[in-house]
Amino acid sequence: MLKMAIFGSGSGTNAQAIINAIEAGKLDAQVACILSDEKEAFILERARKHNIPAFYIDCAPFRTKLDGEAEQQVLDLLEQNGVNLVVLAGFMRIIKSGLLEKYKGQIINIHPSILPSFPGLDAGRQAFEYGVRFTGCTVHFVDEGVDTGAIITQRCVEISQEDTLDSLMKKIHEQEHIAYPEALQWLAEGRIQRENRRIRIIPSEQ
Query: What are the sequence ranges of the domains in the chain?
Result: 2-192
Q: What pLDDT was estimated at residue 154?
A: 98
Q: Report d(CA 15, CA 33) in Å as an integer.
A: 11
Q: What pLDDT was estimated at residue 206?
A: 53
CA atoms within 13 A on the CB side of 50: 22
Q: Report d(CA 160, CA 17) in Å as an integer.
A: 26
Q: What pLDDT was estimated at residue 195?
A: 86
Q: How crowded is residue 57: how many other Cβ atoms within 10 Å of its Cβ?
A: 18
DSSP string computed for 179-203: HHHHHHHHHHTT-EEEETTEEEEPP
Q: Which residues are catalytic?
A: 111
Query: Counting Cβ atoms within 10 Å, is residue 190 exposed (0-12), middle (13-18) or buried (19+)?
Result: exposed
Task: Say what angle helices 165-188 and 13-23 make with each other, to 10 degrees.
Answer: 40
The closest alpha carbon to 17, from 172, 206, 197, 193, belongs to 172
Q: What pLDDT was estimated at residue 197?
A: 85
Q: Which fold has domain 2-192?
A: Rossmann fold (3.40.50)
For the chain, residues with pLDDT lower than 50 are none
